[in-house]
Structure 1
Amino acid sequence: MESDYRVPTALGTLAWTVALVVLLVRGEGLADGERWWIWVCAAGIALGVFGFFYVPYLLGRREAAERRRDGERASGSEATDNGPRA
């Protein structure tokens, strides 16, 4: 049983977005040594958006491969069942 990937992906992306907004609102109050967190948030948002669009593609490819594999198994078993038996 597979779970719905969209909810955790959307929540994670939303959390990174909120964190980015908080950091940007702080603006100049953010220490120079802590500014790298802005890029961490941006990367989290980018990865979340990428995952949201890539996972359906990945699931579709996986499903197509399973159908293809099942089709090969079915045609392979028919070929051996129809042959002469010794």
Structure 2
Amino acid sequence: MRIWLKDSERRPDPEPVETDDRKAMLVGIALWVVSLAVLLLFIEPLNAAGNLWWLWTAVAGLALGLIGLIYTHVRRGKRSR
């Protein structure tokens, strides 16, 4: 097996596959919302145990998911022009 091929021996690159990344992000965001709601139900025991950072982890995951969703929306708009 050779590691390096000449350009004349290479097959053409395949066409990129169109995907809908927004669906995956929406599922992830929904899971972060559910986890945030569950953690808010148990906020007193979390605070007593010193594990309030779990709550902030869910908030950070939700925020990053929303940023990613906005990014993919903007990128899709630029690509369709």
Give the TM-score normalised by structure 1. 0.64
Separation (CA, whole Å) in 1 of partners of 2:36 and 2:74 = 28
Deviation of 1:63 after TM superposition, in Å, equals: 5.6
Larger Rg: 1
Paired with 1:62 and 1:17, the residues of 2 have a C-alpha distance of 30
Which residue identity does 2:60 align to in structure 1?
Answer: A
1:22 maps to 2:38? yes
Q: What RMSD, in angstroms, separates the aligned Cα atoms of the two structures?
A: 1.5
Identity among equivalent positions (%) equals 40
For 2:57 and 2:32, the matched residues in 1 are separated by 9
How many residue pairs are counted as aligned between the two chains? 63
TM-score (normalizing by structure 2): 0.67
Task: Encode CA deviations 1:17-39: one digit per residue, 9 max, x unaligned.
Answer: 1111111101211121x210111
How big is the shift at 1:62? 4.8
Q: Which runs of 5+ in 1 are unaligned?
A: 65-86
In structure 2, runs of 5+ residues without a counterpart are: 1-16
Of 49-58 and 37-46, deviating more is 49-58
